[in-house]
Amino acid sequence: MNSEQAPENPAEKAPSTPQPTPVPTPAPTPASTAPPPPAGASASEGTPSAASGRCERSGAPGSGWATACHLVGLLDFGVSFVFVGLLATLIVWLARRDADKECDFHGKEALNLQLNLLVWQLLALPLLCCCLVGLPLLVALPFVKLVALLVGAARAASGERWSYPWIVRVVR
């Protein structure tokens, strides 16, 4: 073959660079064609997490704010005279009641429980001075508060609307 002759095979004309092969685009799945999440919601909202298999939802039942309404009541270690737990619950409730309906419900319940316990502790003081009947009441009420708030927090974390039994609803 002479250098002046044209090559017979077109592939022998010049060294060619490899052409990239087109990548097929996948067909859209129903999950990818869903409308975008509402404002303020995460993209993974309502989808199961890989680790737990439970749905992660912010601001919905089972969110941390409803649970926090109950748990911050424990900041005063069960003694309602200090008002720390009552004020902390009030702050969380006032901050989130408009944005989260579950936080609104659970905040009212936690406030009602703490107000009722405060009244019982105030009533136990004169009973303590008069006839020592108030002493068992003053000893028992912090434990009642601890157990009740932990049960309320557990129910709020599971997304259940639970009301404390035997309390007067002051905050409606």
Contact 156, 102 (CB under 8 A): yes
Domain boundaries, the chain: 64-157
Cα–Cα distance measured from residue 166 to residue 107, given in angstroms and rounded to the nearest whole number: 17
> Residues 106, 156: contact at Cβ < 8 Å?
yes
Q: Which residues of the chain have pLDDT under 50?
A: 32, 40-61
Question: In this structure, what token pair is assigned to residue 113?
Answer: 């429980």
Quickly list DSSP for 152-169.
Answer: HHHHHHTT-----TT---
- Identify the pLDDT of residue 46: 43
Radius of gyration of the chain (CA): 32
Q: What sign for the dihedral angle of Cα 58, 68, 61, 171?
A: negative
The separation between CA 60 and the C-alpha centre of its own chain, rounded to angstroms, equals 7
- pLDDT, residue 88, reads 93
Which of these, 155, 146, 162, 143, lies nearest to 67 by C-alpha position? Answer: 155
Instruction: Indicate the SS3 state at residue 151.
Output: helix
